[in-house]
Structure 1
Amino acid sequence: MFSGRQQTHIVIACFGGWTMDAFDFFITAFALSGIARDFSTDLTTMTWAMSLPLATRIFGALSVGWLADKFGRRRVLVGNMIAFVLCETGVCLAPSLSVFLLFRALFGLVMGGEWGVCTSYAMESIPLSKRGFVSGLLQSGYPVGYLFAAVLYGLIYESAGWRGMYLVSIGVALCVTILRMMLPDYRMDGEKKAAESVSFRESMAGQWVLLGFAVLFMSAGATFSHATQDLYPTMLRAERGMTVHEVALVAVAYNMAAVAGCLCGGSLSQRYGRRKTIITSAAAIFLILPFWAMASGLLASLLSAVVMQFLVMCVYGVMPAYLNELAPAAIRSTFSGFVYQIGFLLTSANATVQAWLATHQGWSYSTVLALTVAVSLVLFISLIVKGQETVRIAERSVL
């Protein structure tokens, strides 16, 4: 087991990678209209800049996860962040839409393994009693990245444009790379031997029902979470007439709530169990959904979005611990990353379909997004109700 200082170093380095993933993704979300204008295309076509990285992540989850399980977490995480810098540079300097989309697809491939490797590395390195809190902390990297993107959008977008925002992302990623170069490496001898001698398919023998459950579960979760996030800034501008600074203000507020939600959900799951925390939080989303969809004006939109993202991230704050506890030990990085990312693959075209319905079929953004959340949430809850609990009574800490 690592020392307390080493554990902190590992958690910060893993948190930084997941933060950078979200930071990049939501830079694209905020700047989508401007990028479309610069490349002389429409918004529906431009949503492929968000859909392509989601679609290619599954291949990164399999390849990067396998490398981490076989050769160790640290070296793979360092290489992954170097590749992130290279892809981000390509996006920043892209001379045409086709080149831009190519690097967005490569970005998804590179970052697809980030979540699985980071969560497995962190979960393996900390005491069991801290697993719930650290699960929420790691997942909070996503709203923190979103928050940074919102602040950056409000501060420099009108002066530096989307290329300037990507340039800032490159600088931050270089800092994370340096931090990761100083990480300790660790893997239990039994896991190393198993990873070298047993394939993913062999490790999953007799557990395909578990894999099917996890894939459907994460697909439903990816659908409702992204429906509340990806096109929400676009809806605020196009449908509710907000300015750039008003959109940034709302995004900052609901991402601060999302960070709190991750920490709350993860911590509560250590005491009350993973399933119970997920089910309670997901059910509460139904209560706020009508207010979130029908809100008008800055204050109402801000308050409903704050509550919505708090609840969504209460659900997701449990995911790192839950999926890693479900996973076979020998392929923990591969399994957790694969399950997490395949959900995004199966739902990768959602933003494009939602934008098409809103811009070409006369639907309002609020209607499209609310229906997507409602349908996927029903499926999500019905699956997790039938799932298994993973945290043992002996492992639960007193909050």
Structure 2
Amino acid sequence: METPEKTPLMAQARQQFLDLFRWKQRVSIIDENGNEKIEYQSPVVPTNPVTLLWQLTAKQWLFYWTGFFCWFGDAFDFHALSIQTSKLSAFYGVTKSDVSTAITLTLLLRSVGAVFFGIAGDYFGRKYPMVLNMFLLGALQIGSIYATTFNQFLATRALFGIAMGGVFGNAAAMALENVPAEARGILSGIFQSGYSFGYVIAACVNLGVGGAPDSWRTAFWVGAGLSFSGGILRLLFPESKQFIEKKKSGNKGGATNAFLREFKKMIKKEWQRVLYTIVLMAIFNFYSHTTQDSYTTFLLTQKRMNNSLASKASILMKTGACVGGTTVGWASQFFGRRRSIAVCGILCCCIIPAWVLPDSFGALATGGFILQFFVQGAWGVIPIHLSELSPPAFRASFPGLTYQLGNMISSPAAQIVNEISERTTVFDVGARRQAYGPTMAIATAIISLLLTFWISIGPERKGSHFETVAAAGAEVNLGEQQHKHENTADSPAEDQSALEKSSLHGSSEDEKKDDGLQTQTKDV
């Protein structure tokens, strides 16, 4: 069957759109040898979630929950700011739009952290880059607490964004790269729900500390503690198995130039998929930040709720997100990754009126619960969808980089909502109010439809055996050994040893075909 790269781009998009309406799912599969082919698969009825989760070993669970905890801590740190916009506005004597500049700077610079820590994770291993990342995150959260002026606060949050950007790629790789393929959907949904869970806990802390303007500092201290705890927790566990074998063989990591050459080759070969994924993640990040970052401000400003009711509504809203992420992630094993996301986008549009129009606490909380069920339901598919779309040797850098570049593009989302809302009024709760509700509603409708269109023309690799492909560092080291063999003629014995080692990874096409299974078993 024709391989994806030989098919014209527009033809691929057209075919992928039409395939959403077919019973069998057209997916691109990466086999154990790193080769890609197209298959049509009949949907398999999802296995009982308990049975799926029972497949994981104790070690796999420990790695999974460590990755989840780090991602949850990262989410708490971010939402500790966005959920307290009104407090920070009063504390520093600036507008809410000014405070949202801190959110913009954080999101804008996350891509820098994704590049640095993502490449470090593929190059040096998952463990120590992630430990350093979490410790930096906690230190910068404390730095935010001690900022005496608003400009100092903005500068600290900009640096905080760099540290924050490195978490997703390595945390997702640690949690998902070695779990059973059948359980990926539900585990992806639970993992992504860590982001919403971070929001829920941040809202609970906000509720607990009260509405005083300086109470935001207490929430930031909690976030710093979670970040440091995540770093310590990761320090207690060993390196991922893809890198343990490399250490045993004495390969500590290839030369930087060699690694970058491999990275550039990947970008050159996969540039279309890279661009597609960056745009996808930009839309996704607009999707989430538009619906969540200003929601508490909307309840406080337009609906005139007090801090307690607004926090409770936010908690219920993000509880729906946790349920949706887990449920849709599990269902994507049957419906497919793209189809699940597209359905969530359409249903999200339908629930928007119930999300912003009611006045009572119960109705607003219910509308928020259902809307976030679909928003984060679509997000629940993303961790595993990105991992499956990734070039297998770059499972830490590719998801983290594309995710955070999308974040960078969408970084003004909260600021745009605040700017438009503060300059526009609407009659609500018996008076003219800042128009947060209409602004968020219109933006969410546009973004939901755009997401549905974009995901419908994109690729899918559900079921790819990416976990059996060696990490990038291992390939670089073996390539260097081959290079050394080619340029050293003084030691025939060493040359022969290097040649034998390199042949395990396929020094020719014939050897790759004969020894593919043996090679992948050794790598893993």
Q: What is the TM-score when the length of structure 1 is the normalising length?
A: 0.94
Distance in 1 separating the partners of 2:60 and 2:121? 18
Partner of 2:291: 228
Partner of 2:495: none
Q: Check whether the contact 1:281–1:315 (CA below 8 A) recurs between aligned residues.
A: yes
Instruction: Decide which of 448, 454, 457 is 1:377's aligned counterpart.
Output: 448
Partner of 1:349: 412
Q: Check whether the contact 1:268–1:277 (CA below 8 A) recurs between aligned residues.
A: yes
Give runs of aligned pairs for residues 1-399 of structure 1, distance below 5 A. 4-158=57-211, 161-188=215-242, 196=259, 198-362=261-425, 364-392=435-463
- Unpaired runs of 5+ residues, structure 2, are 1-54, 247-252, 426-433, 467-524
Distance in 1 separating the partners of 2:464 and 2:402? 26
Q: Check whether the contact 2:193–2:326 (CA below 8 A) recurs between aligned residues.
A: yes
Structure 1 residues 289 and 158, CA gap change in structure 2 (3 angstroms): closer
Q: Check whether the contact 1:55–1:346 (CA below 8 A) recurs between aligned residues.
A: yes
Q: CA deviation at 1:336?
A: 0.6
Question: Which AA in structure 2 matches 1:53?
Answer: T
SS of corresponding position for 1:321: helix
Question: Which AA in structure 2 matches 1:319?
Answer: I
SS of corresponding position for 2:177: helix
> Any idea what the Cα deviations from partners look like across 1:244-279, whole Å, max 9, x if unmatched?
110111111111111111111111112221111111
- Segment of structure 1 superposing worse, 168-177 or 386-395: 386-395
Partner of 2:52: none
Q: CA deviation at 1:197?
A: 6.5
- Segment of structure 1 superposing worse, 195-204 or 72-81: 195-204
The structure richer in helix per residue is 1
Larger RCO (alpha carbons 8 Å, 6+ apart): 1
> Any idea what the Cα deviations from partners look like across 1:80-127, whole Å, max 9, x if unmatched?
111011101101111111111111111110010111111122222212
Question: Which AA in structure 2 matches 1:386?
Answer: I
Q: Check whether the contact 1:228–1:373 (CA below 8 A) recurs between aligned residues.
A: yes
SS of corresponding position for 1:207: helix
Distance in 1 separating the partners of 2:118 and 2:377? 26
Q: Check whether the contact 2:345–2:449 (CA below 8 A) recurs between aligned residues.
A: no
Distance in 1 separating the partners of 2:445 and 2:405? 21
Q: CA deviation at 1:134?
A: 1.4
Greater radius of gyration (CA): 2
- Unpaired runs of 5+ residues, structure 1, are none
Q: CA deviation at 1:373?
A: 0.9
Q: CA deviation at 1:187?
A: 4.8
Q: Check whether the contact 1:61–1:112 (CA below 8 A) recurs between aligned residues.
A: yes
SS of corresponding position for 1:390: coil
Question: Which AA in structure 2 matches 1:367?
Answer: P
**Deviation above 6 Å: which 4+ runs of structure 1?**
189-195
SS of corresponding position for 2:268: coil
Q: Check whether the contact 1:144–1:256 (CA below 8 A) recurs between aligned residues.
A: yes
What is the aligned length? 394
Q: Check whether the contact 1:72–1:187 (CA below 8 A) recurs between aligned residues.
A: no
- Segment of structure 1 superposing worse, 377-386 or 156-165: 156-165
Q: Check whether the contact 1:224–1:374 (CA below 8 A) recurs between aligned residues.
A: no
Q: CA deviation at 1:393?
A: 9.4
Q: Check whether the contact 1:6–1:184 (CA below 8 A) recurs between aligned residues.
A: no
Question: Which AA in structure 2 matches 1:96?
Answer: T
**Amino-acid identity (%):** 28
Q: Check whether the contact 1:204–1:328 (CA below 8 A) recurs between aligned residues.
A: no
- Segment of structure 1 superposing worse, 81-90 or 345-354: 345-354
Question: Which AA in structure 2 matches 1:51?
Answer: T
Q: What is the TM-score when the length of structure 2 is the normalising length?
A: 0.72
Distance in 2 separating the partners of 1:188 and 1:282? 36
RMSD: 2.2
